[in-house]
Amino acid sequence: MNLGDILSLETILPDMTAANRWEAIDELIQQLVKANRIQPQHREAIVAVVKKRESSMSTGIGFGIGIPHASTDLIQEVVGALGRSKKGIEFEALDNQMVSLVVLFLVPQGQFQKHLHTLASIARLLHDKEFRQELEQAPDAAAMFEIIKKYCAPK
């Protein structure tokens, strides 16, 4: 699975307000609730599982990227949200830099291989400097989604 498979226009947040990684997780999970990808009654349990995973080690992987993720039995398919922060988010990243792009994704419990492949695919794409620059300069969610579809299209 790649970013184009798990995102939709409704799960892209071009102007995040979060100041730190915990607020970013809350904000992106709320976006998944708004987009009907997570049931409202499961919100708090999902926030808890993502924050528990994030507590063990920051998913701020450098280059202004954060990829919080977790497995849960509260979803049936892989879901994700993308957020962009113009001011930067304190993420305790490996390179100690602020994060401007955050991809949060959830994988159904027990799908370990899918979890690893999805994480690897997202990380590989976000390590592309041109891709990150295009996302950071895009005017809105629709433009961001078009960029993602372009980069995720089969070559």
pLDDT tens digits, one per residue of 119-153: 999 999 999 999 999 999 999 999 999 999 999 98
What is the predicted pLDDT for the residue at 155?
72
Our answer to whether residue 69 is catalytic in this structure is yes
What residue ranges do the domains of the chain occupy? 3-152
Q: Give tens-digit pLDDT for 49-89.
A: 999 999 999 999 999 999 999 999 999 999 999 999 999 99
For domain 3-152, which architecture applies? 3-Layer(aba) Sandwich (3.40)
3-state secondary structure of 89: strand
